[in-house]
Chains A and B, each alone.
Chain A
Amino acid sequence: MRVPLMLRIGALVLATTGFYTYVGQMVPQKEVQPPRATTLEAGISTADMAKIGREIMEGKGICLTCHTIGKSGALRFPDLAGIGERAKTRVPGLTDVEYLAQTLYEPTAFIVPGFPPAMPPVNQPPIGLTDQEILCVIAALQSLGGTPTVTLETKHHYNSGAAAPGAKPAPAAAPKGSQLRPVPMLQPLASHPVAARLAVAHLATARLAVARQGEGGEVTR
């Protein structure tokens, strides 16, 4: 019996789409819910702040999309294990809290050698953490190799309105599409629109390649 042509073609189309649907079911399945605002009670302990901070790092802060904790080798971005201790001496003149605040509010101010300047400011959309949530993240980071010290009342130069020692003032919310700030070596170019554009494109190339280095994600099932 000869199968009609339309049936053969229909079967081929069905089988092909069926196969790709099957491949789609084979990869890790994760439903991502929109982030919810974190409720912080007054007088919350530093230990609790560290716990909440860790949840924020894994969730709405999307820190662990790029950073690892306790891994070595060819990394995309700096590993966070021991950051609580390293933060105290990373930048001369900055305390651990000031340094950690700087990495979160103004991540391109200091770039860890060997890594690209690819981190976005976490106080701006789309991540948009509040000052209090960032304090919790600082507590969580301090707990990685050190002892958390911050409270909800802790002031640093990004939430106190004071100018940072020898640094630029805290960044205000940027206009749309300007999250990327030129790193210091590119700043002379920033005054020239075409040169600035090329610099941005160059950095973007770097970020794309770095991010793809770990393609396949960290998710396991």
Chain B
Amino acid sequence: MTHAVVNRKLLVVVGMVLAIGLVATAEITASSGAGGAYQEAPQTAAPPVQSQGVAGEKLDAENKARQSKPYEEAAYRTVPVVGSRVAIWAIAQLHLLFAAFVLAVPIFAFIVEAIGYKTGDIRYDRLAHEFTKLLSVSFSLTATFGAALTFMLIILYPKFTNYMMSVFSPTFLPYVVLFFFEAFFLYTYYYGWGKFHPLVHLGLGLGLNIVGTAIMFIANAWLTFMMSPRGVSDAGAVLSVRDAIFNYTWMPINVHRVIANVAFGGSVAAAYAAFKFLQAETDEERAHYDWMGYIGNFVAISAFLPLPFAGYWLAKEIYAFSQTLGLTMMGGAFSWLFIIQAVLIGNLFLAANYYLWLGMGRVEGVQPLQKFIKYLLIGIALCFMVWATPRSIIATVSEIRAMGGSSHPILGYLGVMSAKNTAVNILILTTFMSFLLYRRTGKVATVAWARKGHAAQLTIFAAVAIFVIFLGVYGYFVEATVRIGLSVPQVLSVLFAMIAITAIDVFLFRGASRTGEVRWGRIPAISQYVLIFIAVTFTWLMGLMGYVRSGLRQHWHVYGVIRDQSVDAFTPTLGFATKVVSVTVLLFFLLIGIVFWITSLHDRPDFGERTGRHPKEVPPDLPPGTPAERLKARTS
């Protein structure tokens, strides 16, 4: 009782503080905006000059002429302290992170629900519903940040925003209509759970996915146009809206984002499951959330494995559009960013594998496979080290002299593409093998050709690994024009291995006997922190790669067409960029924490039930007791 009163008082105080904070923020923004936008205002508002003879009249006339000047649109306005660019950057990133989550969750909720419908396993249906619970609050936040981003663009970059609107105005109405449909599908999908025929409900999920993806495609047209403009003249005049949409990087970004969103959404959903697992009080709850975390992580890593190939296509199209843009990305101002990216992706691979290895402990009879883990770990660690080795090393003048250049005489060889391509491909192959080991944990193949099947899988794996390494080494001995073509067979051979080995595995373990059951929930707690680590790393990676995609334009709003004339036209240091990314990531996790909390209210006992305070007067149509007791009585 006392607690409830204190809580209420606390809420009132917090509410008042928030309200004051909001008013103060609005006041500061309005005053700073006015200062930036209308620089001439103080002159026009100056006290009238007293007429003193001819000179005074002239001054009066000049003053009037100034006052009668037509309105001129400001090109830029500023935000105090952080500046316009950082403000837009943070809001856009938060909008994108939530949008990615809102687009990704329906994809795997739909797939999981479909599996549940097909197999008749109610667990899948429950899991899909649990994922969907996270959607409604996230959807509101996405829309809120989207609106904030739009208003900020109009306020801070009015001229540029006006230009973009003039190019893309035909896309706005479809965007709004699709947004309406997305809201319709999302809420009917969530609130209609169990209320429709399963196929109707699956249809709603499908509609939600189609509409959500279409919305993303439209927004992608705007941002990719800024990076690789098409359909406009050199001066920016619109020649073809269709060409402006179908620009060089539009489709690669669409594909890359769909895959990356699934990976990101899977990781955040897995983090949610981890959070619930750590909060769980019963074995049943732990089993459920362990399974949910496993599925989320499985989705995330499955989408993550083909992501480098999609990224490769995107980079290729960037080069196809403009060599300068491509070279700026890979060999110029942003080249060191890819070393940071290597650290992040290396960590993701390590963490994902570690989680899988910990997960093997859930299954009885795992020992025969655990002996392979140390070899996989060695392979992953070596690949990670090669990938994160820069071509040139940060060194003092004397160290550079001692090395004979900025590249280390031995390690420098690992900093080139031949080594890095090889490392990435082996890394993907190794992680795939971890998946495979996990998949067959606790199972024994019973088909007649089991021995031959295992041998074929091992042969493919070994042959492809040797082939990839051979091409990597061969690259050092040939000239540039030959070397650059070697990455294609490397990638294709790894894809071939993944497809061929999986295909064999499916038939090999059809009707397999079990050596032990999967004991969901029986996994060390550290595995759940690994899931949270993966989610944070994914989010940070998205922030970093969002920065390079946008920052690549350098001093151009629309690359090569509309130049950035603002005070923020310079490209900041990578150190500064990583700080902004980190702040955005922390804000995102603070907000996603609130989303988790709001979602968890759904399962919270009623207020009266928790406090023991029941309504004094029970409505005549309700039997006495708490809501839970009434429910129990009804169901019994």
Binding site for B on A (CB under 8 A): 5-6, 8-9, 12-14, 16-18, 20-21, 23-35, 62, 65-66, 74-76, 114-116, 118-120, 124-127, 173, 175-177, 179-180, 200-201, 203-221
B323-A219 in contact (CB<8A): no
> Knowing A74-B416, A216-B415 touch, does A204 contact B579 (C-beta < 8 A)?
no
A209-B564 in contact (CB<8A): no
> Knowing A12-B529, A75-B480, A210-B480 touch, does A62 contact B339 (C-beta < 8 A)?
no
- A-B contacts, 24 listed (Cβ < 8 Å): A12-B532, A13-B536, A16-B533, A27-B336, A30-B574, A34-B555, A34-B564, A35-B555, A65-B327, A65-B328, A118-B323, A120-B322, A126-B322, A126-B325, A126-B560, A177-B247, A180-B323, A204-B326, A208-B326, A211-B327, A212-B331, A213-B417, A213-B480, A217-B335
A114-B488 in contact (CB<8A): no
- Taken together as a complex, chains A and B put the C-alpha atoms of A5 and B596 apart, in Å, by 14
Q: How far is the CB of B553 from chain A (nearest CB, A)?
A: 9
Per-residue CB proximity of B51-90 to A under 8 Å, as 1/0? 0000000000000000000000000000000000000000
A210-B415 in contact (CB<8A): no
Other-chain residue from B392, B420, B578 in contact with A217 (beta carbon distance below 8 A)? B392
- Taken together as a complex, chains A and B put the C-alpha atoms of A119 and B327 apart, in Å, by 9
Residue on A with the closest CB to B487? A209
B326-A20 in contact (CB<8A): no
Residues of chain A with a CB closer than 8 A to B582's CB: 17-18, 20-21
- Is B571 in contact with chain A by the CB < 8 A criterion? yes
B332-A65 in contact (CB<8A): yes
A5-B344 in contact (CB<8A): no
- Taken together as a complex, chains A and B put the C-alpha atoms of A8 and B579 apart, in Å, by 22
B339-A204 in contact (CB<8A): no
Residues of chain A with a CB closer than 8 A to B425's CB: none
Residues of chain B with a CB closer than 8 A to A24's CB: 340, 574-575, 577-579, 581
Chain A binder among B192-200, B230-238, B282-290, B369-377: B230-238
- Is B484 in contact with chain A by the CB < 8 A criterion? yes
B392-A218 in contact (CB<8A): yes
B391-A216 in contact (CB<8A): yes
Residues of chain B with a CB closer than 8 A to A17's CB: 536, 540, 582, 585-586
Residue on B with the closest CB to A174? B234
Q: Give the size category of B's interface with A.
A: 35 or more
Chain A CB within 10 Å, residue with most, of B229, B319, B483, B554: B319
A62-B328 in contact (CB<8A): yes
Per-residue CB proximity of B582-614 to A under 8 Å, as 1/0? 100110010001000000000000000000000
Q: How far is the CB of B350 from chain A (nearest CB, A)?
A: 13
> Knowing A12-B532, A212-B420, A220-B394 touch, does A177 contact B324 (C-beta < 8 A)?
no
- Is B159 in contact with chain A by the CB < 8 A criterion? no
B560-A125 in contact (CB<8A): yes
The 5 closest A-B CB pairs, nearest first, are: A24-B578, A216-B391, A216-B390, A209-B484, A34-B555
> Knowing A31-B570, A176-B561, A215-B420 touch, does A209 contact B320 (C-beta < 8 A)?
no
Chain A CB within 10 Å, residue with most, of B395, B416, B484: B484
Given contacts A179-B321, A215-B330, A217-B332, 16 further A-B contacts (CB under 8 A): A17-B536, A27-B575, A28-B394, A28-B574, A32-B570, A34-B555, A115-B481, A125-B560, A177-B248, A204-B326, A209-B484, A211-B330, A217-B391, A219-B335, A220-B392, A220-B395
- Is B275 in contact with chain A by the CB < 8 A criterion? yes
- Taken together as a complex, chains A and B put the C-alpha atoms of A127 and B332 apart, in Å, by 14
Other-chain residue from A75, A200, A216 in contact with B335 (beta carbon distance below 8 A)? A216
Q: How far is the CB of B174 from chain A (nearest CB, A)?
A: 24
B324-A126 in contact (CB<8A): yes
- Taken together as a complex, chains A and B put the C-alpha atoms of A209 and B344 apart, in Å, by 21
Chain A binder among B14-22, B300-308, B310-318: B310-318
> Knowing A177-B321, A212-B420 touch, does A13 contact B340 (C-beta < 8 A)?
no
Binding site for A on B (CB under 8 A): 228-234, 247-248, 275, 278-279, 312, 315-333, 335-340, 343-344, 389-395, 400, 406, 415-418, 420-421, 476, 479-481, 483-488, 529, 532-533, 536-537, 540, 554-556, 559-561, 563-564, 569-575, 577-579, 581-582, 585-586, 589, 593
B322-A212 in contact (CB<8A): no
- Taken together as a complex, chains A and B put the C-alpha atoms of A75 and B407 apart, in Å, by 13
- Taken together as a complex, chains A and B put the C-alpha atoms of A23 and B406 apart, in Å, by 20
> Knowing A28-B394, A34-B564, A219-B336 touch, does A119 contact B323 (C-beta < 8 A)?
yes
Residues of chain B with a CB closer than 8 A to A8's CB: 529
Other-chain residue from B279, B331, B572, B578 in contact with A65 (beta carbon distance below 8 A)? B331
Q: How far is the CB of B475 from chain A (nearest CB, A)?
A: 9
- Taken together as a complex, chains A and B put the C-alpha atoms of A177 and B228 apart, in Å, by 7
Other-chain residue from A118, A125, A204, A217 in contact with B234 (beta carbon distance below 8 A)? A125
> Knowing A13-B589, A62-B327, A219-B336 touch, does A176 contact B481 (C-beta < 8 A)?
no
Q: How far is the CB of B320 from chain A (nearest CB, A)?
A: 4
> Knowing A14-B586, A17-B586, A31-B570 touch, does A218 contact B323 (C-beta < 8 A)?
no
Residues of chain A with a CB closer than 8 A to B581's CB: 20-21, 24
Residues of chain B with a CB closer than 8 A to A211's CB: 319, 326-327, 329-331
B331-A120 in contact (CB<8A): no
- Taken together as a complex, chains A and B put the C-alpha atoms of A30 and B337 apart, in Å, by 12
Q: How far is the CB of B276 from chain A (nearest CB, A)?
A: 11
Residues of chain B with a CB closer than 8 A to A26's CB: 394
A74-B320 in contact (CB<8A): no
B392-A9 in contact (CB<8A): no
B316-A76 in contact (CB<8A): no
Q: How far is the CB of B500 from chain A (nearest CB, A)?
A: 24
Other-chain residue from B317, B333, B589 in contact with A204 (beta carbon distance below 8 A)? B317
- Taken together as a complex, chains A and B put the C-alpha atoms of A75 and B331 apart, in Å, by 13
- Taken together as a complex, chains A and B put the C-alpha atoms of A211 and B231 apart, in Å, by 28
Q: How far is the CB of B398 from chain A (nearest CB, A)?
A: 12
A180-B320 in contact (CB<8A): yes
A215-B335 in contact (CB<8A): yes
Q: How far is the CB of A67 from chain B (nearest CB, A)?
A: 10
Residues of chain B with a CB closer than 8 A to A74's CB: 416, 476, 480, 483
Residue on B with the closest CB to A203? B320
